[in-house]
Structure 1
C-alpha cells in the first residue's frame, strides 16, 4: 500500500468519524429536551441508541425522571434513574418481550398531568416486540428472520411488523393516553418516514392489514393460518393519523442520515476537498447500487463530471441483500465488493461503506473499505471476488484481505454511510 493510499484510507476513516460524531445522542438529545411536567416524567424507549439517548436525557433534564428503555446487547450505558434492558436484534428474543411488557406497564394509568418522553432509534422494531395473543414469540422470530433474508426494504418490513405488534403503529401512544407524549427520533429510514422508524410506536399509520398481507405474500413469508385470518379480517389494524389518542403526541426528528452526510462534507471541506452528496435515501439491492456508484465514479474520473477530482461522492440510505448464498449478507460490504469488482482497481479510487450503528446486516462489523489494490490483494491470496459476491459472503472477503471496519457499538444509528474518494489522474 502506497503512502497516498494510506492517506486516502485515513481520510475516509476521518469522514466516517465526523458522521458518527454529529449524530451521537449526547449531541442531539440536549437540544430537544421538553420542559418538566406538572406530574411525572417517564422516559421509555427502544433502539440501538436508546440507552445513550436515555443517559443524555437524564444528565440534562431539569426535573425528576424515571423510566425504562431497551437496547441491543452490548449497547447499554450507565444510567442512574432510567432502567436499561438489553435484548436481541435483529431477531427478537424473550428479553425484548419482557422489556415491551415492562414498558407497557410503566405507561399504563397516566393522567393529563404526566408526560412520557419516548426515545426511538433504529432497531426498535425488533427490540420492543409485543405480538398479539395469537402470535407466539417463535412465530414472530421466524417472520423476522424470513423478512431479513427476503430482500424486502425497511418500509415493507416495518409495514408487516406494525400489523403484528400491539405497541407499533401508534399503539404505544394509545397506551400512554391521556398523558402528553414527546418522542425524540433518530432516523435510520430512507426519507425519514416517521411511521417506519422502529415501526412508529407513537405515529399514526396509513397502511392496513391488507397491505401487510400483500407484502407477506409478495416475499413468500410463511405465517400461521390464524394470523392470516386475522389480517384478512383487519383485526390487527394500527392507529390512523386522526385517532384522538394521538392528539397529545409530538414527534421530533433529532438525527438523520442527511446530518451525517453534511458533517462528512464539512470535514472534507476543512481538508480542502470538494464533496457531492448524491442522496441520503438510496435503496435497492446493494450489489446493483455498487454498480451504479462505480459508473458515477468512472464518469468523474474520466470526464470530471459532475464534479472535478480530487473529490468525494457521499451517499446514505439503506440498501438490501437478498441472501441466496451461504454468506450472511451485509448490505454495506456487498455494495463495496460490487463497487470494487466494477472499478477493477481503477487508479486513485478508494471507498468506505459502513452502517452507522456498527453492525452491517447480522455481522458485528460496521462495514469495510477498498483501495485500488483490494482486488489485487485478493487475487494474491487466491480469492475470487465474484464467487464471494455470488455467495453473499462479502464479510469473509474483506476479513481475509484485512479491510473490515470494526467499531463496536457506536451508540447511534442513522443507517448506511458511503464515501468514495476520487484522486486526480496520475
Structure 2
C-alpha cells in the first residue's frame, strides 16, 4: 500500500489533470466565430467567466469590448473586457449591478454586430435580476430555499429562470438583432446548455407550470411575491423557436466527461487502472456516498466488478437537504458519509472536490477520506455521525487536517470524485 502522503499526492494529481483539461485557455480558440462586419461585444457570467474572457482576449484578432461577472476572488486582469465580481452562492447588490451592466452592453446593437457569451456554472447567483414586484431580498430567499431543498439542478433552474428578467434566454433576446454565440463550460449532468447558469442566453421549453410543479414537489417555501409572479403569465420565458434566437449558436466547450477521461489517463500513466463510473450522478450526497462505498468495498474484497488496484472516477452534481446548521458543501458531505461506510477499510482512499475550487460557501474545494477517517476523528473527540447529521462535514475534516484547498481554478465542470482501491 502507498503511504498516506503518496495516496493524497496521487489523488491530487487526478484532480489537477481534470481541472487542466477544462482550462478555457486550451480550448476556446477552436470555438471562436468569424469576425463580424460590425462590433464584437463580450458578455459572461460564472465562476470561470474571467478566465474565459482572458483566453478570448488572447485569441481574438479584431476589436472587442464587453463585461463579465464572476465570484469574489475569481477575477483576473483583462485589458479590453471589464471583469466584475459579485457574491456566490447568495446574490448581492454587486450582482444586481452586474446584471444591469450586461444588459447595457447588449443594448442598441445591429444585425452586423456579434455577441460572444461566456457562460459557466455559478452564473445563476451572480446574475440576480428580479422581476417587477420582487426585491433582491426575495431573490435571496428563493435562492436559499432552493439550495437547502435537495432539489436537482433541473428543478432549481426551472424556478430560477421564471423568477428572473435575465435568465431563460432573456439576455440573448435583449441583444437582438445581433447574433449571439454562447461558449459554455458545463457543470450540468447531461450538459444541457440551457441549464448552465439558468441559461441567460439559451432558452428552453421548460414552462412556468413546470416551475410551479417543482415548487410543489420539493415543498419549497418561497416569498409571496415570488409565488404571485410564478402564477402569472408575466413569468413566461421566451421559447427556443422565438425568431430572436434564429441565428444564434451554442457550443459546449468543456464538460465533466472530458475532465474525467483526462484524470483516467493520468491514473493509467501512473500505473493504476481507472474506470469512469458516470459524469452525470445526481442525488443526495450522503446517499450517493453509500453507493460508492459499497462498490469500493466489493472491489476490495472480491476484485469485482473491477480488479484492484483501480481508481474509480465519477462526476455530476449531488445535492444536500439541509436539516442542520453546520458548515460544508456537497463534496465534504459525500466524503463524511463515505468515510463512515469505509470505517476499518485500510486499502480504500478517496477525494471529492468541486472543480471550481470551492465547495459550498467555505474556502475548500472538498476533502480527503479513507478507512481511518472515522477513527482519527474519534481520537480527536469528534463524532463523525453527529457532524454528518448536523450537515457539519467541514468541521469534521478541518479537525483532522483533511480539507483540500487548491484555491480558485478558473473553470467549473462540477464535482470530481476519485476512489482508489489498492
Short-chain TM bin: over 0.9
Q: For 1:294-351, what per-residue CA distance to the aligned partner results, in whole angstroms no more than 9, with x for missing partners?
A: 1100111111112100100000000011110121341101111111111113021110
Q: State how 1:19-168 maps to structure 2 within 5 Å.
A: 19-168=18-167
Structure 1 residue 253 and structure 2 residue 252: aligned? yes
| Cα distance, 1:272 vs structure 2 | 1.5
Moved more, 268-277 or 232-241: 232-241
The two structures have a TM-score, normalised by structure 1, of 0.97
Cα distance in 2 for partners of 1:313, 1:48 equals 27
Q: State how 1:268-283 maps to structure 2 within 5 Å.
A: 268-283=267-282
- The 1:226/1:397 distance shift into structure 2, 3 A limit, reads closer
Moved more, 378-387 or 410-419: 378-387
Is the Cα contact below 8 Å between 1:350 and 1:372 reproduced in 2? yes
Cα distance in 2 for partners of 1:313, 1:227 equals 42
Q: For 1:207-246, what per-residue CA distance to the aligned partner results, in whole angstroms no more than 9, with x for missing partners?
A: 1111112222333333344432332232211111111111
Is the Cα contact below 8 Å between 1:324 and 1:392 reproduced in 2? yes
Structure 1 residue 291 and structure 2 residue 311: aligned? no
Is the Cα contact below 8 Å between 2:138 and 2:226 reproduced in 1? no
Cα distance in 2 for partners of 1:405, 1:343 equals 19
1:340 is matched with: 339
- The 1:324/1:227 distance shift into structure 2, 3 A limit, reads closer
SS in 2 for 1:192: coil
Cα distance in 1 for partners of 2:195, 2:88 equals 17
Q: For 1:147-202, what per-residue CA distance to the aligned partner results, in whole angstroms no more than 9, with x for missing partners?
A: 11111121111111100111111101111111111100000111111111011112
1:361 is matched with: 360
The two structures have a TM-score, normalised by structure 2, of 0.98
5+ residue gaps, structure 2, are none
Cα distance in 2 for partners of 1:384, 1:114 equals 60
Is the Cα contact below 8 Å between 2:343 and 2:373 reproduced in 1? no
| Cα distance, 1:59 vs structure 2 | 0.9
2:239 is matched with: 240
Cα distance in 2 for partners of 1:354, 1:375 equals 19
- The alignment covers a number of residue pairs equal to 422
Cα distance in 1 for partners of 2:215, 2:136 equals 18
Cα distance in 2 for partners of 1:183, 1:229 equals 32
Cα distance in 2 for partners of 1:242, 1:47 equals 26
5+ residue gaps, structure 1, are none
SS in 1 for 2:221: coil
| Cα distance, 1:3 vs structure 2 | 5.4
Is the Cα contact below 8 Å between 1:5 and 1:371 reproduced in 2? no
Cα distance in 1 for partners of 2:390, 2:351 equals 21
Cα distance in 1 for partners of 2:218, 2:327 equals 19
Is the Cα contact below 8 Å between 1:202 and 1:249 reproduced in 2? no
Cα distance in 1 for partners of 2:298, 2:163 equals 46
Moved more, 5-14 or 308-317: 5-14
Is the Cα contact below 8 Å between 1:323 and 1:329 reproduced in 2? no
| Cα distance, 1:120 vs structure 2 | 0.1
Moved more, 317-326 or 232-241: 232-241
| Cα distance, 1:104 vs structure 2 | 0.4
Cα distance in 2 for partners of 1:329, 1:409 equals 17
| Cα distance, 1:41 vs structure 2 | 0.3
